[in-house]
Amino acid sequence: MIRKVLLVDDDAAVREALAQTLELAEYEPVSAGSFVAAKDHICREFDGVIISDIRMPGRDGFHLLAYARDVDPELPVILLTGEGDIPMAVQAMGQGAFDFLEKPCAAADLLVVLESAITARAEILHDREQRRELERGDPAARMLFGLSERAEILRERVRSVAPTHAEVLVTGPAGSGISKVAEVVHLMSPVGQGPFVKRPASSLQPEDLLRVYEDASGGSLFLDEVSAMTDTTQYAALELIEQGTDARIIAGTTADLAELSTQGQFNADLFYRLDVMRVRIPALSERPEDIPIIFRRYVAQAAEQAGIAEPEITPEHLALLMAQDWPGNARSLMSAAMRFVLGMPEEVAQAADQGLNEQLARVERSLLIAALGRHNGKAAEAAKSLKLPRKTFYDKLARYQIRPEDYRR
C-alpha cells in the first residue's frame, strides 16, 4: 500500500511538524527544502503524493506543480497556501493541483485530503501495472482464476464479448467479482488503453451522467449494481445510450433485471439496451473445485500485504473450505484467506438446516478431496489410504464431480 509523501517547504520547522503528523498516521514522509531538492525524487513511477508550499524562494510551488505534471500528469500534488493566497490556490487547481489547504491546517483536514490523493495514486499505478501485464499476456487467464469447466467457460465468454463495442451486462451473485470481470472485459476491449471509470449506479443522478460519460470518454464506464439506479436516472441513461457515446457501457448486477423489468421495477428498454452481451459469473458453490487455487492466490496476496511468510495450507484445510457453501463467494473467501494468514481460527459454516444424508455427503466429499490433496492427485494412492476399492473410489469421484488432476501440485 502506498504510504510515501514528499514534503516540500523552505521552512524547516513546518516540514518537521508535517513529518511528525504523517509519521503518527503511519505515512512515510520524505522532506525537501526547495524545488531543486524535490525534483530529484519526482519520477513517473513515484509511488506517493506531493505536498508543497506555494510561496518559496526561487522556484515556488507553481514551478513544482508544472514540473510534476510534465513528468506525470497523474501525480497528485497538494498545495499549502498562506492567508491571502486563496486566489493563487484556486489558480493552481485550474493548473492541475489535486487540492489545496490553507496554513496552518488541522491534522484531520490534511489527512482526509491526503488519504484521497493516496487512494487515487494507488489506483493509477495499479491501472498502469495492469496495462503492462496486458501487453505480456491474457488478462482473462491472469485475473480470472479457476481450473473448472465453469471457470473456463467464464474466461471464454469474456474473450468473446470483449473485442466488440457493444454494451455488456455482467451478472452474478453477491461477492462473485462482478467489478473484476467488468475490468477484464475493458482491458481486453478495443478501448482497453482508455480509462476504466467505475461508479455505483445507486449514487448517480441524471445530472451526473453526462459528466461521468465524459470522464469515461475513450474507455469504459462500469455502472455497478445497475438495478439500484433511480427511475429518472434510468431514463437519462437510456437517452444517452441511444444518442451514442464515446464510452463503452458495462453494467453489473446481482439482481434479475429481466424479472425486475417484467414487474415494472426496471426500465425494460434500458434492460434490453444493456443486455446486448451478457457474462454470467458462477457462484463458488457451482465450482467448489476452484476453491483451492483461488484460496492459495488470496493467501499469497494477504501474506504479501501483511508482510509475513505464507503459512502452509494443508489438504485438510482445503477440504474444510470446499465443504462450505460460501454465500459471500470470492469476497468471503478472500476474508477467510486474510484470517488464515493472520492465524485467526476459521469459523466453519454450520449445516444445521441440512438433513443427515446431505451432511454425510459433504463430509464424504471433503474426505475424498483431502485424500487426493495428500497424495498429489494420485487417485490410486488416495483410494488405498481410504481403504476403498478403486472402482468404489472412482464412482464416488464421479458422483461428487471431483477431478484428481485438480489436486496435482
Question: pLDDT tens digits for 208-239?
Answer: 888 888 899 999 999 999 999 999 999 999 99
DSSP 65: H
Confidence of residue 134 (pLDDT cuts 50, 70, 90): low
Which of 142-151, 200-209, 233-242 is predicted with the least confidence, judged by mean pLDDT? 142-151
Predicted confidence (pLDDT) at residue 397 exceeds the cutoff of 80: yes
Q: b/e string for 267-306 if b means 16 or more Cβ within 10 A?
A: beebbebbbebebebbbbeebbbbbbbbbeebbeebbeee
* CATH topology assigned to domain 4-129: Rossmann fold (3.40.50)
Confidence of residue 312 (pLDDT cuts 50, 70, 90): confident
* pLDDT tens per residue across span 39-78: 889 988 888 899 998 888 888 888 899 999 999 988 999 9
Q: What is the mean pLDDT of residues 315-326?
A: 78
Question: Can you give the pLDDT at residue 259?
Answer: 94
Q: Which is higher by pLDDT, 282 or 130?
A: 282
Question: Can you give the pLDDT at residue 363?
Answer: 66
Question: Can you give the pLDDT at residue 352?
Answer: 41
Q: How far is Cα 34 from Cα 17, in angstroms, rounded to an integer?
A: 17
Pick the CATH number of 140-282 from 1.10.3720.10, 3.40.50.360, 3.50.50.60, 3.40.50.300: 3.40.50.300
Q: What is the mean pLDDT of residues 264-272?
A: 95
Question: Can you give the pLDDT at residue 220?
Answer: 95
Peptide bond into 389 cis (omega under 30): no
Predicted confidence (pLDDT) at residue 240 exceeds the cutoff of 60: yes
Question: Can you give the pLDDT at residue 317?
Answer: 81
Predicted confidence (pLDDT) at residue 408 exceeds the cutoff of 70: no
Strand-by-strand arrangement of the 4-8 sheet: 28-32, 4-8, 48-53, 77-81, 99-102
Contact present, 110 and 52 (Cβ < 8 Å):
no
* pLDDT tens per residue across span 290-307: 888 889 889 988 998 888
Which of 90-99, 330-339, 394-403 is predicted with the least confidence, judged by mean pLDDT? 90-99
pTM for this structure?
Answer: 0.56
CATH 3.40.50.300 domain span(s) along the chain = 140-282
Handedness of CA 369, 372, 376, 377 (dihedral sign): negative
Question: Can you give the pLDDT at residue 252?
Answer: 96
* pLDDT tens per residue across span 18-47: 999 998 888 899 999 999 999 889 988 888
Q: What secondary structure does DSSP assign to 186-239, as a single string?
A: HHTSTTTTS-EEEEEGGG--HHHHHHHHHHTTTSEEEEETGGG--HHHHHHHHH
Q: What is the mean pLDDT of residues 103-128?
A: 81
Which of 148-162, 319-333, 352-366 is predicted with the least confidence, judged by mean pLDDT? 352-366
Q: How far is Cα 229 from Cα 173, in angstroms, rounded to an integer?
A: 18
Question: Can you give the pLDDT at residue 345?
Answer: 61
Q: What is the mean pLDDT of residues 124-153?
A: 73
Confidence of residue 84 (pLDDT cuts 50, 70, 90): low
Neighbours of 67 (CB within 10 A): 16
Q: Which is higher by pLDDT, 275 or 83?
A: 275
Please give the grid coordinates belonging to residue 49.
Answer: 503524493
Question: Can you give the pLDDT at residue 198?
Answer: 93
Q: How far is Cα 169 from Cα 157, in angstroms, rounded to an integer?
A: 12
CATH 3.40.50.2300 domain span(s) along the chain = 4-129
Predicted confidence (pLDDT) at residue 12 exceeds the cutoff of 80: yes
Crossing angle for the helix pair 315-322 and 356-374, nearest 10 degrees?
150
Q: Tell me the pLDDT of the chain averaged across its residues.
A: 85
